[in-house]
Structure 1
Amino acid sequence: MNDTVLSYLLLAALVLPLLGAAGALLPPPPGLKGRDPDQAVLRHGVSVTGVVLALTIALAVGFDHGHPARMQATTDVSWIPALHIRIHLGVDGVSLPLVVLTALLTFLCALHAYFKRPEGPAPKAFVALLLLLEAGTLGTFAVLDLMLFFLAFETVLIPMYFLIARWGGQGRQRAAFRFILYTLLGSVVMLLGLLLIGFKAGTFDMVALATDNSALGHGTQVVAALAIGLGLAVKAPMWPLHSWLPDAHTAAPTTGSVLLAGVLLKMGTYGFVRIVLPITPQGAHTFAPYLAAFAVVGVIYGSLACLALARRGARGDLKRLIAYSSVGHMGFVLLGIATLTPTGVNGALFANIAHGLITGLLFFLVGAVKERYGSTDLDQLAGANGAALYGAAPRLGGLLAFGAVASLGLPGLGGFWGEMLAMFGAFHPAAGLNRPAYLTFMALAAFGTLLTAGYLLVVVRRVCMGERPAAGDTLPDVRGYEFAAWTPLVALTVVAGLWPAVLLGLTDPAVRTLLGARS
């Protein structure tokens, strides 16, 4: 498929959610209204996100897999000539998997919302916000201009704020406020770094800057890497800038939690790979050991927090526990990036995708558990004899156990390869980095995998096991729409675990090009 067709596919995938968001706010045509106007607008969300998913799959099929390091589906036109800002779009082996992941999870969330109508205000605003969120996230992964990256990055914040504040659960106002406060403050600092690069280099073009950053001196690179890195670290999230995340996940509706964990956190780590490593390599080298140190602290901290929540009598919330697990898992991603090696960065990108699939599945499952039991409090779920999901709803219990063992990094499932490659990268970090320090980081990260296995197995034992309930106490098992929404995530988790070359074959050449472009 030629590049012109691919560029049209990418443009359509970016523009269609924006048009769909506007259309969701309009009255539905009489022929489509049906008996329930609310259901019609939810169906509109499924239709638009389904078309966007089809467009991204066509983009992936037409992508030249023989040259994944080359930027494809490109569009490059002048937008604001006075500031050297261009509408520059494109995808390569680094961004293409994230584009498809975003389209897939958004479609599954729209499908889930269609059958399980979100509680709260009228669905018009919900669908419009969901589509706006998709447009901003896709744009973040597809734009190749620093200012467009910032605009797309910021576009995501407002719809997620309202999804939490208006359709969330208990404590949603406080959680939404903390989310927007942290991310906006981080974005202000990041903007200063982006402007510094653009004005010093005379261009905001990310491809040109990655190829030739000679206009950026050592001091400029260090300051820019620090400013941009802080903004991205908030979204990643990196310890100790993570404290907004557990509240946001706990209060968010199921679709909000799935998208927050599945794609929004990836925007921060993607920015490190796309901007910080190739454009400010000297700054990246300066701060890499500190990033690695914060990353492994996040791995240990997240795991210990989960263990504390999982113990009996702690009244830990299952959604909050999975949110803290994301702090640990994203710590492995940041560790891989901090090694500055192809092995580590490839591991980070692989872990990004695996985390999106697995944690998205887990939040769907926790939403189903809350619907059936009315709570995600672990002590209430476990009770005296355990929630006994294996007996009450065996398919749901089996899927929860599958998500847990995938999350703990069981070999053969998607969660294994990314974390292993990140630790391999730490074993042999880039030249000039302190290898004994990185070996210590690797050992701490390995210990974190043991802690991860510990708390996830405790959760499975407390929620899934227990005395088999009486026949009259059985719960609804996996419904048809739930099966449709969860099956792709399960299948892709297995495929990623058994056939990692599908993803690594895309990312590795692109990563080597980005790292090779460093001066």
Structure 2
Amino acid sequence: MIALACALPLLAGLALLVGGAELSRPAAARTGLLVALATLVLTAVAWWDGAVVDLPWLPALGLRLHLALDGISGPLAVLSGLVTVTACTTALGGARRRPEGATFIGCVLLTLAGAVATFAARDAVLFVVAFEVVLVPMWVLISRFGDRRDPERRRAAGARFVLYTAFGSTLMLLGVLLLVARAGTADLGELGRAAGEGIDPRTQVVIAVLLTIGLAVKVPVWPLHSWLPLAHTTAPTAGSMLLAAVLLKMGTYGIIRLPLATVPDGFARIAPVLGVCGAIGIIWGGLVCLVERELKRLIAFSSIAHMGFVVLALATGTATGVAAALYGNIAHGVVSALLFLVVGGLKHRWAGDDLTRPRGALREHAPRTGVLLMVGLAAGLGLPGLAAFWGEFTTVVAALDPADGRPHLLFVGCAAAAAVGGALAAGYSLRVARLVWVGEGHEAGAAEGHGSDERDGITTELGSTELLPGFVLALAIVVLGVAPGLLLAVTDPALAAVVGR
């Protein structure tokens, strides 16, 4: 099951790239949707059934093709499948015959294949290889299928994405190779059980620094974040959904599985710096969102702020903190996918996403779209009863009582900064709601001749292929917010094993 969950989207994606030129975009999207649905089911069954693949890969180097899902990786793999299903469903709306439709869906499926393999990899080198598989199709989605109105910006976004992620990948590979050479094994289970035993403290710190910086680029952590807003602004809707809900989660998952679990003493030495960077990212992203004029770029900066909560939670080094990080990971994946789905649809209908331009109220002209936007914004501001609340609230609790050996006052200051960041999130979420959902300023704009006709002032509803996946994501946000125990029940045992060591 787990091997098929990795191989099916990989083979289907390659088939679409090589032989799908004659397919229309809807036909390619239907194919991608079926494959993504099958992968989602296979992943869930493999996780539930405890399926394992463990075969020799490179015997001379002691490397194995070892795949398995547990309470840490299973929810993230299922999230990847769910978001890919919704992304393929949104692509069904294209009615025109487009030669590039198969290429687009093929890249989406390759991203899914790499993500599932990354979360399932139990070999450190295999983890790196699977991680890199995701970066190539994601680059194609950004640089080729991004905003067609600004080719120069699209190329710049693709180039910056490659430069940053290649830099991070190089450091991550160096850290993995040093770890494997010093520990004598690449098996993540054995590395976790050893917890750095036999590796001198200085080398542990070096490994932790290489791995953490390399993975921090992918998260991204402030100040390594500048590639993300441009990539999100340029990427197509499906690309933004995958970027926020899949690629960023691979970075934080890697921090849990590699430096935190394998060299905990070295990670503890650099954790205060990581916590401060996370807290700065929370404040930085919130302040930018208060003044940002482009709606899609605003959601991108909000992702930096929300991922700052996840990073701060990991830096605390406690069971509560790591549980909050994983919950925040899942919650942000669902919330960001919903917001980028809605915002991407609005940007297409508006022919732009400038918030300073007066527009009609969604609550009047597109109420179903407005409901989806409000659910995403309410979850983003951490409203109790919705998914993001539990991860961010628990992060503050964990930062107030970090693990032994970490500077208590420093983390209390980070907790205070995170609380301020929560207030900023409320501010920019309500700002967007006021401008887009309420439509404040539309009447004044109409009086001046701006926004008085249907093209400028009235927003039509999203199509059924966008509304249906939107409501699925909104339902997931509510369920995770009302019943957090559903997720914690399956993640706590695996997390306790990692943090307990």
Q: What's the TM-score once normalised by structure 1's chain length?
A: 0.90
User: Is 1:42 the counterpart of 2:29 in the alignment?
Assistant: yes
Q: State the shift of 1:206 in Å.
A: 0.5
In the TM superposition, residue 25 of structure 1 has moved relative to its aligned partner by: 3.3
Tell me if structure 2 keeps the 8 A contact 1:118–1:167.
Answer: no
Give the counterpart letter for 1:476 in structure 2.
T
**Aligned equivalent of 2:210, options 208, 227, 247:** 227
Contact 2:172 2:214 (C-alpha < 8 Å) held by counterparts: yes
Structure 1 residue 371 displacement after superposition: 2.3
Q: Report the Cα distance in structure 1 between the residues aligned to 2:242 and 2:17, rounded to whole angstroms.
A: 22
1:8-27 aligned at under 5 Å gives the runs 9-27=1-19
2:39 alignment partner in structure 1: 52
SS of aligned partner of 2:38: helix
| Cα distance in structure 2, aligned partners of 1:372 and 1:209 | 51
Letter in 2 for 1:20: A
Sort the Cα spacing of 1:118 and 1:99 in 2 relative to 1 into closer, same or farther, 3 A: farther
Where does the alignment leave 5 or more consecutive residues of structure 1 unmatched?
Answer: 1-8, 64-71, 310-315
Equivalent of residue 219 in structure 2, options 217, 236, 247: 236
Tell me if structure 2 keeps the 8 A contact 1:351–1:419: yes
In 1, the alpha carbon distance for the partners of 2:335 and 2:425 equals: 14
* Alignment partners' CA distance in 2, 1:186 and 1:56: 28
Q: For 1:147, give the aligned amino acid.
A: V
Which of 327, 349, 366 is residue 393 of structure 1 equivalent to? 366
Check whether the contact 1:17–1:135 (CA below 8 A) recurs between aligned residues.
yes
Deviations 1:71-125 (A, max 9, x none): x322212211221111111111000100100001111111111223699762121
Amino acid at match of 2:356: D
- 2:446 alignment counterpart: none
> Aligned residue for 1:348?
325
Q: Secondary structure at the match of 2:79?
A: helix
Output the CA distance in 1 between the equivalents of 2:473 and 2:491: 20
Q: Counterparts in 2 of 1:33-432, with a 5 A limit?
A: 37-60=24-47, 62-63=48-49, 72-116=50-94, 122-169=100-147, 170=150, 171-212=153-194, 213-309=196-292, 316-380=293-357, 383=358, 386-432=359-405
Instruction: Give 1:494's match in structure 2, choosing from 478, 484, 487.
Output: 478
2:463 to 479, 492, 511: 479
Q: 1:38 to 1:118 in 2, by over 3 A?
A: closer
Pairing 1:449-464 to 2, within 5 Å after superposition = 449-464=422-437
- Alpha-carbon offset, residue 470 of structure 1: 8.8
Q: Secondary structure at the match of 2:54?
A: strand
Equivalent residue number for residue 312 of structure 1: none
Checking the alignment, whether the CA contact within 8 Å between 1:94 and 1:511 is kept in structure 2 is yes
Structure 1 residue 504 corresponds to structure 2 residue 488: yes
Q: What secondary structure is seen at the aligned counterpart in 1 of 2:471?
A: helix
Contact in 2 for aligned 1:189/1:228 (Cα 8 Å): yes
More off after superposition, 368-377 vs 470-479: 470-479
CA contact 1:24–1:128 (8 Å) conserved in 2: yes
CA contact 2:285–2:301 (8 Å) conserved in 1: yes
Cα distance 1:119–1:428, how it changes in 2: closer, same or farther (>3 A)? farther
Q: Conserved in 1, the CA contact under 8 Å of 2:44 and 2:74?
A: no
| AA in 1 matched with 2:248 | L
2:51 match: secondary structure: strand
Q: Normalising by structure 2, what TM-score?
A: 0.93
CA-CA distance at 1:347 after TM superposition:
0.4
CA drift at 1:40: 2.4
Alignment length, in residue pairs? 485
Look up the equivalent residue of 2:191 and give its one-letter code.
Answer: L
Cα-to-partner distance string for 1:361-391 (whole Å, 9 max, x where unaligned):
00000011112211111112xx2xx431111
Match of 1:67 in 2: none
**Cα gap change, 1:118 to 1:18, in 2 (>3 Å):** farther
The alignment yields a C-alpha RMSD, in angstroms, of: 1.9
Q: In 2 relative to 1, CA 110–301 (structure 1 residues): closer, same or farther, beyond 3 Å? A: same
